[in-house]
Amino acid sequence: MRVIVFDIETKNIFQDVGSNDPTALDISVVGVYDSADGSYRAYLEEELPQLWPVFEHADALVGYNSDYFDIPLLNKYYPGDLTKIKSIDLLVEIRKSLGRRLKLDQVAEGTLGMHKSGHGLQALTWWKNGEIEKVKKYCLDDVRLTKELYDFALTHNKLMLKDGSRTIDIPIDTSGWAEKSTASLTHTLPF
């Protein structure tokens, strides 16, 4: 099964565009892990046409808050409909189990003992200062964390949250994750 783990950084924030709609934002970088070859790659907005064949051949897209944020924003650029590809949004799974949302950093700390390498506002500042390589690195660092969380959940059927000195298990039902979708995908690209 070909899994694509991904994350997006933007050129602006909701306050800049006066809306909470992700599609009002503009993409700066999309970071991707491709299980087909184990590669990590960052794509700038002008390189998105190179990304579409990768997504087109995916059996599942894996992200963190990707159903609400990343996929709708990518669909603004994509000539088809990425919601037709199976999505595994770790935040959705956490919310199903725990009843609330958690930041990626909280789950990475509790599950992996790791932290994010920065935060989104830093990435925005780097972008505005022309420090594109820093934005790419930050985005790919988040992709690595998300991939490790996905792998951990697949192996252990849980993620974890640190709450003071104790660790709380977050049961995750991964039973359908490895199943290929039987839905007919309707992509618009000629692959």
**Residue 166: both structure tokens together:** 């104790």
Least confident window among 9-23, 57-71, 86-100: 9-23
Mean predicted confidence (pLDDT) in 144-160: 98
Q: What is the pLDDT of residue 163?
A: 83
The pLDDT of residue 57: 94
Q: What pLDDT is stored for residue 181 in this prediction?
A: 73
Any domain includes 180? no
Using CA atoms, how far residue 30 sits from 11, 33, 51, 155, in Å, is 12, 10, 9, 27
**Least-confidence region, from 83-87, 143-147, 172-176, 179-183:** 179-183
Give the model's pLDDT for residue 15: 87
Residue 189 placed within a domain: no
Does pLDDT of 186 surpass 50? Answer: no
pLDDT at 190 over 60: no
What's the mean pLDDT in 113-125?
86
Domain-embedded: residue 46: yes
Q: Residue 121's pLDDT is what?
A: 83
Whether the pLDDT of residue 23 is over 50: the answer is: yes
pLDDT level of residue 191 (50, 70, 90 thresholds): very low
Is 94 within the bounds of a domain?
yes
Tell me whether residue 184 is in a domain: no
**Confidence band of 146 (pLDDT split at 50, 70, 90):** very high
Indicate whether 56 belongs to any domain.
yes
Residue 158 has pLDDT above 60, yes or no: yes
This prediction's pTM: 0.92
Higher pLDDT, residue 185 or 88: 88
Q: What DSSP string runs through the chain?
A: --EEEEEEEESS-HHHHT-S-GGGS-EEEEEEEETTTTEEEEEEGGGHHHHHHHHHT-SEEEESSIIIIIHHHHHTT-SS-GGGS-EEEHHHHHHHHHSS---HHHHHHHHHS---SS-HHHHHHHHHTT-HHHHHHHHHHHHHHHHHHHHHHHHHSEEEEEETTEEEEEE---TTTTSPP-SPP---S--
Statement: residue 68 has pLDDT above 50: yes
| Domain encompassing residue 26 | 3-171
User: How far apart, in whole angstroms, are the C-alpha atoms of residue 110 and residue 20?
Assistant: 29
- The CATH number of residue 100's host domain is 3.30.420.10
- Into how many domains does the chain fold? 1
In a domain, 9, yes or no: yes
Question: Tell me, what's the pLDDT at 182?
Answer: 61
> Is residue 109 situated within a structural domain?
yes
